[in-house]
Amino acid sequence: MSVGIACLVLITGFVINIPVFIAVIAAIVSYFFLAGDASPMIAAQRIVGASENTTLLAIPFFIFLGNLLNHAGITRRLLKLAEILTGHMKGGLAQSNVMLSTLMGGMSASNVADCAMLCKMLVPEMTKLGYGRAFSTAVTAAGSLITPIIPPGMALIIYAYVADVSVGKMFMSGVVPGIMCAIALMVTIAIVARVRGYKPARAHGPTWHEFWHALKGASGALTLVLVILGGIRLGVFTPTEAGAVAVAYVIFLGVFVYKELKLPHLKEALLETSLSTATIMLIIMACSALAWLFTWEQLSQSVAGFITGYSSNPYVFLMVLNVFLLILGMFIEGNAAIIVLVPLLMPTVKLLGIDPIHFGLMMILNLAIGCLTPPMGTVMFVANSITGTKVGEFCREGFPLFVALIVCLLLVTFIPAISTWLPYL
Amino acid sequence: MRKKLLGALDDRLANLCTLFIVIITVWAVFTRYMLNSPILWVEEILLAAYIWAIMLGAAAAMKRRKHISIDVFFTMLPPKAQRYAQLMNDAISIVVLVVFGWLGLELAMESGGKITPILGVSYIYLNLAIPVGSFWMAIYLVIHMINDMRKQAEGENK
């Protein structure tokens, strides 16, 4: 009963455009006042409690890192490498765009920030070369969906926290699916480019000299990916420490080696980090208190009983869940959905014998695709507002890319090895 | 000048906490691997700085109306209705934040005896971030409301 009213408060809050974390807090507090058998102070305690967790301490570091990359001159060097490698293909600049997103994904944690930056940087250049504005925007948005899957993605950290699996394993599980998505997008772009006759950006393939030159330019940035991934994989660093080392390294690189990072840039990146960390963490904290409340009410057991009552085939469950999440992802912010849903679904997942890492990666990829679809696609909104594209055009031009990503999602769903092979190696 | 300093106080404090977290963590990694002497109390102080960074950053974000909300349905309203709906939303948010801040204050007062395991710092200093941040956000919302109403009144007089 009280839970029902809490849910009602939550949904009303979402619909009338109250900030997400306030709507969630309102729901929790109203539950405690209505249920009456526990002090409402516990609500405050549960919300603060979520911040007292070392896994989630990794978040500000990777946000900071993402904010620094552009100012430090790393993005530009990576773009050069991507252009040399893929510029001669059909639809060259679109290919470079996806390639750059994938490389950036290895350092940045937030797809919205990545997408905004790439839209400003690449879409004007693409339209100059004769690509449609809507197609360019769709390519950039679809490419930046790879960011949350490739480590260090924020969603991977958050899932590791709620599902109680190791962050390192979760990071590793994203590598293969991330690369797979990149390839799927690039193949789709190649087909579209062939049909529409988009010209390559460069007349010939990379020569050894050019390749070597670009690789040398980007080597500082590529080392960073190896340090983050290698350090965590070998157990040298915890994810938080890897984030700290990476931030220190990027500042060093930007200030002393590339000499592009100046004090005003640092200040700007720092403020941006404080703001993003606060808005994201408050949602996480409020949502984990809500998830605790659902567990307290033993909703997850009811969910498990309900689902297994229909079918005990794990693949049927995953398929139904995929459809449900794709619809949900259109309306709800992905990280919030992970925090609330994972504790609810975990007993079912374990009962059906699904690997939590496989399950998590499927869920993250699914919700990432939700960022691309109207009406609540955060990435789509950011991209469209920067480039001035209409939602309708975006959907039409983005459709083939959307299909490619759905195919990847199905592969990840039905072939657990794609996500579990590397972490258990 | 004083107003400017005060206006950016939340930004500065939040930045300070974030910067502190970054520097301490880098330093902790350095001492652990290079000097081979891990600092035991780092985790405690980091988590305390984290909650303050979050709550102060939340106030700074509220000042800029940067908190994430779901505005699909909201933007369907005509502009005039949007203005009234915004005032209503702000009023609701203020009530929720004040209640939450109050609960946080109660929690902080009751946690006086609870101390962190290594440094022995009272949990009051951690939990106090909740009321401070919440009330600060509520104050910004009141300012937003007054500004919006003033703008509306000006618009109608014209």
Give the residue among B138, B70, B97, B85 at the shortest CA–CA distance from A26: B97
| Smallest Cα distance from B116 to chain A, Å | 12
In whole angstroms, what is the distance from residue B55 CA to residue A275 CA?
10
Work out the number of other CB atoms within 10 angstroms of the CB of residue A408. Answer: 23
Eight-state DSSP code of residue B49: H
Q: Which of residues 40-99 of A touch B (CB under 8 A)?
A: 40-41, 43-45, 47-48, 51-54, 57, 60-61, 64
Which residues does chain B have within 8 Å of residue A21's beta carbon, measured at their own beta carbons? 67-68
Buried b (16+ CB within 10 A) or exposed e, B123-138: bbebbbbbbbbbbbbb
Buried b (16+ CB within 10 A) or exposed e, A110-149: bbbbbbbbbbebbbeebbeeebbbbbbbbbbbbbbbbbbb
| Smallest Cα distance from B86 to chain A, Å | 8
Q: Is B76's Cβ below 8 Å from some Cβ in A?
A: no
In whole angstroms, what is the distance from residue A126 CA to residue A133 CA?
8
In whole angstroms, what is the distance from residue B68 CA to residue A212 CA?
43
B2 burial type by CB count under 10 A (0-12 exposed, 13-18 middle, 19+ buried)? exposed
Give the residue among A369, A359, A366 at the shortest CA–CA distance from A173: A359
The angle formed by the CA atoms of residues A381, A384 and A389, to the nearest 5 degrees, is: 140
Give the residue among A93, A40, A58 at the shortest CA–CA distance from A166: A58
Q: Find the closest chain B residue to A41 by CA distance.
A: B103
Place of tokens 């200093």: B125
CB contact under 8 A, B25 and A61: yes
Which residues does chain A have within 8 Å of residue B21's beta carbon, measured at their own beta carbons? 57, 60
CB contact under 8 A, A54 and B55: no
Count of A–B CB contacts within 8 Å? 166
Which residues does chain A have within 8 Å of residue B61's beta carbon, measured at their own beta carbons? 275, 278-279
Which residues does chain B have within 8 Å of residue A241's beta carbon, measured at their own beta carbons? 25, 28-29
ipTM of the complex: 0.91
Smallest Cβ–Cβ distance between B103 and the set A40, A274, A331 belongs to: A40
Q: Is A328's Cβ below 8 Å from some Cβ in B?
A: no
Q: Is A285's Cβ below 8 Å from some Cβ in B?
A: yes
| Smallest Cα distance from A271 to chain B, Å | 6
In this structure, what token pair is assigned to residue A26? 């309102």
Smallest Cβ–Cβ distance between B72 and the set A41, A270, A376 belongs to: A376
- Sequence-separated (6 or more) residues with CB below 8 Å from residue A54: A238, A240, B43, B46, B47
Work out the number of other CB atoms within 10 angstroms of the CB of residue B114. Answer: 12
Q: Find the closest chain B residue to A59 by CA distance.
A: B50
CB contact under 8 A, B43 and A333: no
CB contact under 8 A, B47 and A51: yes
φ and ψ at B122, to 5 degrees?
Answer: -70, 145
In this structure, what token pair is assigned to residue A30? 């109203």
In whole angstroms, what is the distance from residue A161 CA to residue A50 CA?
10
Give per-residue pLDDT as tens, A56-95. 898 899 889 888 887 888 888 888 888 888 878 777 888 8
φ and ψ at A182, to 5 degrees?
Answer: -60, -45
A54 burial type by CB count under 10 A (0-12 exposed, 13-18 middle, 19+ buried)? middle
Which mean pLDDT values do the consecutive 10-residue runs of chain B (158 residues) have? 64 92 90 75 89 95 88 84 92 96 92 76 87 96 93 77
In whole angstroms, what is the distance from residue A114 CA to residue A122 CA?
12
Work out the number of other CB atoms within 10 angstroms of the CB of residue B155. Answer: 10
Q: Is A239's Cβ below 8 Å from some Cβ in B?
A: no
Q: Is A391's Cβ below 8 Å from some Cβ in B?
A: no
Smallest Cβ–Cβ distance between A54 and the set B43, B58, B60 belongs to: B43
B35 burial type by CB count under 10 A (0-12 exposed, 13-18 middle, 19+ buried)? exposed
Q: Walk along chain A (425 residues) and give the pLDDT tens digit of each residue.
A: 788 888 899 989 988 889 989 999 999 999 988 887 778 888 888 999 888 888 889 889 988 988 888 788 888 888 888 888 887 877 788 888 898 888 888 777 667 777 888 888 888 888 887 888 888 889 988 988 888 888 888 889 999 999 989 888 898 899 999 999 999 999 999 898 888 877 777 777 788 888 888 888 888 888 888 888 888 878 788 888 888 988 999 999 889 888 888 899 899 999 999 998 999 899 999 998 998 888 888 888 888 888 888 878 889 999 999 998 988 877 777 888 898 899 989 988 988 999 999 999 999 999 988 888 776 677 888 888 888 888 888 888 889 999 999 999 999 999 999 999 988 87
In this structure, chain B runs to a length of 158
Work out the number of other CB atoms within 10 angstroms of the CB of residue B102. Answer: 17
Q: Is B98's Cβ below 8 Å from some Cβ in A?
A: no
Mutate to test the interface with A, among B67, B74, B75, B130 (most CBs of A within 10 A): B67
- Sequence-separated (6 or more) residues with CB below 8 Å from residue A408: A177, A180, A181, A184, A365
Which residues does chain B have within 8 Å of residue A278's beta carbon, measured at their own beta carbons? 14, 53-58, 60-61
Mutate to test the interface with B, among A275, A290, A385 (most CBs of B within 10 A): A275
Q: Is B130's Cβ below 8 Å from some Cβ in A?
A: yes
| Smallest Cα distance from A219 to chain B, Å | 23
Which residues does chain A have within 8 Å of residue B17's beta carbon, measured at their own beta carbons? 274
Which residues does chain B have within 8 Å of residue A15's beta carbon, measured at their own beta carbons? 70, 73
In this structure, what token pair is assigned to residue A371? 């960022």
Q: What DSSP letter does each residue of B87-152 carry, written as one string?
A: HHHHHHHHHHHHHHHHHHHHHHHHGGG-B-TTT--BTHHHHTHHHHHHHHHHHHHHHHHHHHHHHH
Smallest Cβ–Cβ distance between B54 and the set A41, A54, A277 belongs to: A277
pLDDT at position A302, please?
Answer: 84
